[in-house]
Structure 1
């Protein structure tokens, strides 16, 4: 069967090849509606399929970006991905999503794979374990945006939560509810991941501002698999905390598993609040308080920054954009 070409479509629709090309590339703002309808009808009737590889080579652009998340299990990550996809779709870009599992080795492989596929840019939740690779992309002026995490020593556009402010919201809310012994549990601090480190520091700062003592036994950064054990140790202290801040949604899940298994009454025995939203937060009994991140706005912002660097210029000043969280007070506090 003969392969249908742009020439065939143009002849069938009674327009020029350049008009068909403009249609295929989405440049039809000044194209008449009848012309568009004829081209659409001809493409459908002839069964024409555009050669995107050839078009990409000609334009030196694949209209594709890569998104590498550190851990796709985070609700925050999936919300960010959705926002990026929405923004890219409106600008006729596609995305390829990869999950690094907080593993620098996997992240490195994905970066190399996506660049081999000639994506036009990358949005990364950096593990922090591939500094030389990040620095190489920065030196090459490859379009790059970081989300959620700052990598010290690099000047890469970064979008993240104002973690200090988030901790102030959480601590202030708990103190207003009468709590003085407040603890925090988050995931591992081994690689100095920005939100985890900043939330611990913000917690200590907020406690000090409220004139409250910080017991080191009430502050834990643990691997996910041992969070329940760490909570058990914390609650077995002579003076255990009466309220816990979960540093992220995965930490909160582990804390909830422990409280259910051990018949701990929330909030009478232990008040809980988390950073990040849980899908079931408002239907869990009791409903769960949290500091909500504006994930969709953050994802859209990251996408628009990257697209601007791809479509306009990779030059220009980079910056760190911090978004404020919002307290959603429910019944767990």
Structure 2
């Protein structure tokens, strides 16, 4: 079957090829409504499909960006990715979303694959272990934005939470409720992932500000499948923690599963706050107090910053970082003990 061309559409609609081209590129501010309708009808009747590759070569743009998330299982990742997609869709850009599983080798393959497909820019939740590749993109003035994490020595604009503040808000709330033996569990910090380091630092600073001891046995940085073992060690102490800050949504899930398995009542036996406001937090029994990230605002910002870079509105060497304030979502997972009030 003969391929339908732009010339066929023009002939069918009784207009010039340039008019059809203007219509396809949405440059029809001065085009008559009847002309637009004729072209639209011709495209429909002929089944015309624009040659995206040819158009990309001509315009030197694929109108596509790549998003590489560190771990798609995080509620944060899915919500931010959705907001990025919304922002790009409004600008007539498509998105390709890839999941790196916190694996630098997989991240590297996705960066190389997406660049081979000539996407116009990348938004990356970086593993941090592809420094040469990140620097190469900067050296080539290639549009790239980081989300959730920064990489030391790599001046890429990053969209992040005020992570220290997130931990401080949680610890302040625990202490205000009379809790003194406060533990923290985060994901593994072997790779020096910046939000994990910052949340840990915020935890320590908050304890110090309340003149509470920082105890090594109350601090665990482990993989999600090691959380149960970490909790068993903590709860076996002569003075087990009475409150736990879960460093992210996956850790919170493991803490709640541990409590159920060991018949611990949340709030009564163990107070809990999680960083990341997961959907089930509000209807869990009891509802879980969390520190929420403004995920949709962060995703929108990441998309807009990258589009600005693509459109040359900002140069890639400016390196502004964009930090967002967390919000404490007070619910019922922290017991009021009394006797110690801020």
If the TM-score is normalised by the length of the shorter chain, which range does it land in? over 0.9
Which string of whole-angstrom CA distances, capped at 9 and with x for unpartnered residues, describes residues 186-231 of structure 1? 1000000011110000110111112222211111111111111001
3-state SS, counterpart of residue 213 of structure 2: coil
RMSD: 1.2
Matched, 1:94 2:91: no
C-alpha displacement at 1:12, in angstroms? 1.9
Structure 2 match to 1:315: 315
**Equivalence for 2:214:** 214
The unaligned stretches of length 5 or more in structure 1 are: none
Partner of 1:301 in structure 2?
301
Distance 1:323 1:18 in 2: 46
Q: In structure 1, the residue corresponding to 2:282 is in which secondary structure?
A: coil
**Whole-Å Cα distance in 2 between the matches of residues 93 and 28 of structure 1?**
19
The residue that corresponds to 2:194 in the other structure is 194
Partner of 2:12: 12
10-19 vs 85-94, which moves further? 10-19
Q: Which residue of 2 aligns with 1:136?
A: 136
Between Structure 1 and Structure 2, how many residues are aligned?
333
How far did 1:331 drift? 1.0
Query: CA separation in 1, counterparts of 2:169 and 2:36?
Result: 53
What is the rounded CA distance, in whole Å, between the counterparts of 2:306 and 2:206 in structure 1?
34
- Is 1:74 equivalent to 2:78 in the alignment? no
Any conservation in 2 of the 1:142–1:314 contact (CA below 8 Å)?
no
SS of equivalent residue, structure 1 residue 280: helix
TM-aligned CA distance change 1:288 to 1:31, over 3 Å: farther
Q: How do 1:263-278 residues align onto structure 2 when only pairs under 5 Å count?
A: 263-278=263-278
Cα separation, partners in 2 of 1:329 and 1:29, compared to 1, 3 Å: farther
SS of the aligned residue for 2:281 comes to coil
Is residue 2:167 matched to residue 1:162? no
Residue deviations 1:108-140, cap 9 Å, x none? 111111111111110000001111111111111
Aligned equivalent of 2:338: none
2:126 alignment counterpart: 126
Give the TM-score normalised by structure 1. Answer: 0.97
Alignment of 1:282-297 (within 5 A): 282-297=282-297
2:23 is equivalent to residue 34 of structure 1? no
Contact preservation (8 Å) 1:143, 1:314: no
Q: Distance in 2 between matches of 1:120 and 1:59?
A: 11
Cα offsets for 1:41-88 (capped at 9, x unmatched): 111011100000000011111111111011000000000110011111
Structure 1 contact 65–122 (Cα < 8 Å) conserved: yes
Question: Any idea what the Cα deviations from partners look like across 1:241-284, whole Å, max 9, x if unmatched?
Answer: 11100000000011111000000011011011111121211111
Match of 2:279, SS state, is: coil
Conserved? CA contact 1:163–1:199, under 8 Å: yes
Q: 1:63 aligns to what?
A: 63
Deviation at 1:27, TM superposition (A): 2.5
Contact preservation (8 Å) 1:141, 1:314: no
Q: Gapped runs of 5+ residues in structure 2?
A: 335-342
